Amino acid sequence: MDEKKDIAQEKEQAEVAAEAVAAEELSLEEQVEQLRQQVKEAEARAAEKHEQWLRSVAELRNYKKRVEQEREQITRLANAELIGRLLPVLDDLERAMAVLPNEKVRKLTWVEGIVLIFQRLRALLEQHGLQEIEAQGKPFDPYVHEAILFEEVPMEQDQVVLQELQKGYKLHDRVLRPTLVKVGRGVPQEPPSEEPEAETPSKEPEATVETTA
């Protein structure tokens, strides 16, 4: 009897130990699964933070670029206002250069000084983006030309700039002052009219005179 009881107790203890081992293994698996879940959550949070950081860096770059563009635009507008006020001076100097009577006058010291001032002023303005607008012989472009005179011309010269009355300028890609021009207005040419030929009067038959014997 005692032996049977001992065997039963050992068997029961073995079952309890097995259950404890199984429970411990299950607990380890649960812990591993929990750790895996925590790692995934940490990776997701890290990826989100990294994405936020990249977005912040991109926003900062865009902000710096926008500020730089606004600064350049303000500078260009300020330059445009100043250069626009200098254009009449440039026109006056250019007209003065055009009416110099002869080479002897051009060689006078004070005239050479004015020519030098004109050349330096024009070079300085060109360095800041000033460009002449081409007009003579070009098709009329309302974006860069302003027509103030018209002249009737053959159709092949219709809407062609015939004469430049005042120079126009661009500052970079912006029209600072349009060119004042005279534009051709095509008039269809009528074909030469053919005059009808004058009819020659027909000759009447001559009357015969009969004589009596």
Domain boundaries, the chain: 131-187
Asked: is 131-187 a CATH 2.30.22.10 domain? The reply is yes
The single-letter DSSP state of residue 209 is: -
Model confidence pTM above 0.75:
no
Q: Do residues 87 and 169 lie in contact, with contact meaning Cβ atoms separated by under 8 Å? A: yes
CA angle 106/108/110 to nearest 5° reads 105
Query: Residue 207: pLDDT above 70?
Result: no
Separation CA 36–CA 101 (nearest Å) = 96
pLDDT 10s digits, 188-203: 877 666 655 555 555 5
How many other C-beta atoms lie within 10 A of the C-beta of residue 145?
A: 22
Separation CA 21–CA 31 (nearest Å) = 15
* Confidence at 16, pLDDT banded by 50, 70, 90: low
Q: Do residues 118 and 93 lie in contact, with contact meaning Cβ atoms separated by under 8 Å? A: yes
Site of tokens 């890290």: 46
